[in-house]
Every structure is written in C-alpha cells, then in structure tokens.
C-alpha cells in the first residue's frame, strides 16, 4: 500500500524515499549496455584520465531513472504526465543516492486534477546531484 | 581580461534549427526488462509480461526514462543508414561533455513491440559562467504510427571548456 493516498495527499507531504547504490563500476557498465549510452567517460578509466578526469563518473540518466521511481512507485507510471531534472553535480563511483519527492502544488490541467512534486537526489555526504519536478494525474 | 573569455567553444552553432531526419526504432521486450532491472524498478509491469497484461497493458510498459534508450537506438540506426546524428552535427566532444537538464512530457505509454519514429531538432546554443561552459538544447518526439505522439523531450548538454593553452 502507498504510505500516502494519492487523492487526499496534502501539499508538503513527502513520498517514501528510494535509495540506490553504492554505485559500482559494474552498475555503470550495465547501465551503458542497457541504455545504449556508450560514452566512454562512464566506463573507461583510460579515457577519463586522458580527458583530465580523476575517474569515470556515473551517467546522469542512471540517477534520473532511479529518481523517477520515487514518483512512479507511489502514483503508478500511467499517472505520470511530466518529469524533469537538472544535473547539478556529478555522481561519482561508490556514491549512494537518496531520492525524495514532496508535493508542492495541486492544479487543474488537461481536464484532470494534477499534483506537482519537487524531486531531489542527494549523495551520502548531502551533496545534491539532481533536482527537478514531476507532474502526476489523480485517478 | 577574464581568462575564461579566451576559451574557445567546440559546438558548431551554425547547426541551430537543424531537424535530424526521423528514423524508426522497434521497442524490444528484453531491452525494457534489462533497462528496468538495472534501475531497480519494482513495478512488475516493466519486467513481468503476465503482470503487465493483468494490469490492462498489451505488453511490457517502458519506464519513464526509457526515452534515452530509444534515442540511442535511433542514433545507431542513423549511423547504419549513413545519416549524421545530432551529437555528430553539433560536434559533441565526450572529453568535456556533461548533461545539463532532461525533461519529458508523457502523452501515452510506450509498449514492447511498438515501432516508433523519433526525430530531433537542435533548438539553441548558449554560454554560462563567462564562457567556461557552453550549452546545446535539443527537442525530440517519439511518435507511434497509430497512437500518435507518445513522449516529448527537452534536453541540454554542455561542454566544460578546457583552459586555453598559453
């Protein structure tokens, strides 16, 4: 059961958190293969070092995909109308990500009642990695 | 003079407004399952066919960020067909590349077995931090031949430009 009912949820309510990681190099290799994003900066340390980086770093879209789960595991993917996020800092190898969402607005659009949620991903040291917002439709 | 103003941009800004030719991509069931598994998706409609059908879907449902998979597959298809990709056109340099922002507008679900068409427009270029970062923005649409527009995306990529060599 959802901890918060979609139709009676109050502005300011937070959704159940989703955690992910620590992100291993194996996870990055699997995400590269699964997504088709073969940018070597995420999977090839030789490439990363030649580019002046200390190490490979995680795909932003890996965290983005995990961040969407906070909303869809609560509202269902069919209710999702919009999801957007800015990549505000780099997610490093071994980071453990916490994903949170808070209801910030209730509004009418497209002939239905919708909720807007603020979404944020942070690493274990409190560093914000992604922030953005999602829109879901009420049943 | 601010040292950052001397940094030289990499993106080819003359490509602003270019529409990349749409190509068709087949959404594969195994790919939805694999992608969902890596992200730790818990809703079985993304990996269990019986659960998806029991929930009223014709097949596995693509999770929200599956859009990227379709775009990457479209780029592979363009390379196969000899069509220049958006990344090639704007001259992405992966040594300096970061993702700026990603936003999706969902109109209808994407299912395994769908053959969808995806086209991209290069919409804008701009600078930040005194020219130390340069951005490019894209808009894409995934369209199904019968069900119409399924998802729209807006995205920005950026180069962290290297210090000029003296």
B129: left (phi over 0), alpha (psi -120 to 50) or beta: left
The mean predicted confidence, pLDDT, of chain B is 94
Tell me if B104 and A72 make a contact (CB, 8 A cut-off).
no
The answer, for B94 touching chain A at a CB cutoff of 8 Å, is: yes
| Alpha helix ranges (H) inside chain B | 29-38, 49-54, 67-81, 86-90
Tell me whether residue A66 is in a domain: yes
* Whether A34 and B104 lie within 8 Å, measured CB to CB: no
Residue A109 has pLDDT above 70, yes or no: yes
Of B34, B38, B95, the CB nearest to A51: B95
Residue B94 placed within a domain: yes
Q: What is the three-class DSSP state of B36?
A: helix
* Least confident segment among A15-24, B2-11, B74-83: B2-11
- The pLDDT score that the predictor gives to residue A8 is 73
Angle between helices A60-75 and A25-35 (to 10 degrees): 80
Answer yes or no: are the C-beta atoms of A56 and A92 closer than 8 Å: no
Distance CA B88, CA B84 (A): 6
**pLDDT tens readout for residues A32-47:** 999 999 999 999 999 9
Q: CATH number of the domain that A89 lies in?
A: 3.10.129.10
**ipTM for the predicted complex:** 0.94
| Residue B113 near chain A (CB below 8 Å) | no
The verdict on residue A50 lying in a domain is: no
Whether the pLDDT of residue B164 is over 90: the answer is no
pLDDT-derived band at B4, boundaries 50, 70, 90: very low
pLDDT category at B5 given cuts 50, 70, 90 is low
Q: How many domains does chain B have?
A: 1
| pLDDT tens digit sequence for B46-92 | 999 999 999 999 999 999 999 999 999 999 999 999 999 999 999 99
> The sheet that has B148-160: what strands, in order across it?
A18-20, A97-109, A112-122, A128-137, A80-87, B97-106, B148-160, B133-144, B115-128, B19-26
Query: Under an 8 A CB cutoff, do A83 and B95 touch?
Result: no
User: Which pLDDT does position B6 carry in this prediction?
Assistant: 63
| Structural domain total, chain A | 1
């Amino acid at each position: 059961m959802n901890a918060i009912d979609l139709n009676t949820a109050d502005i300011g309510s937070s959704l159940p958190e989703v955690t992910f990681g620590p992100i291993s190099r194996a996870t990055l290799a699997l995400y590269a293969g699964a997504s088709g994003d073969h940018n070597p900066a995420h999977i090839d340390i030789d490439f990363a070092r030649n580019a002046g980086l200390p190490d490979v770093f995680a795909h932003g879209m890996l965290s983005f995909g995990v961040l969407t789960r906070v909303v869809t595991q609560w509202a269902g993917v069919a209710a999702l109308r919009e999801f957007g996020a800015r990549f505000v800092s780099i997610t490093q190898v071994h980071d453990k990500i916490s994903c949170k969402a808070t209801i910030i607005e209730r509004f009418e659009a497209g002939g239905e009642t919708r909720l807007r949620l603020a979404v944020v991903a942070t690493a274990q040291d409190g560093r914000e990695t992604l922030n953005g917002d999602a829109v879901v439709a009420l049943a | 003079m601010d040292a950052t103003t001397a940094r030289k941009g990499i993106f080819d800004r003359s490509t602003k407004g270019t529409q990349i030719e749409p190509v068709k991509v087949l959404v594969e069931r195994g790919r939805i399952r694999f992608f969902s598994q890596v992200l730790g998706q818990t809703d079985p409609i993304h990996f269990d066919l019986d659960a998806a059908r029991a929930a009223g879907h014709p097949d596995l449902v693509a999770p929200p960020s599956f859009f990227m998979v379709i775009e990457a597959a479209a780029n592979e298809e363009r390379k196969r067909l000899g069509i220049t990709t958006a990344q090639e056109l704007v001259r992405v340099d992966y040594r300096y590349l970061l993702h700026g922002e990603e936003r999706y507008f969902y109109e209808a679900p994407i299912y395994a077995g769908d053959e969808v068409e995806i086209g991209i427009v290069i919409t804008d270029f701009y600078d930040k931090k005194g020219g130390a970062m340069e951005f490019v923005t894209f808009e894409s649409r995934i369209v199904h031949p019968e069900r119409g527009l399924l998802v729209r995306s807006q995205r920005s990529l950026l180069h962290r430009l290297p210090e000029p060599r003296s």
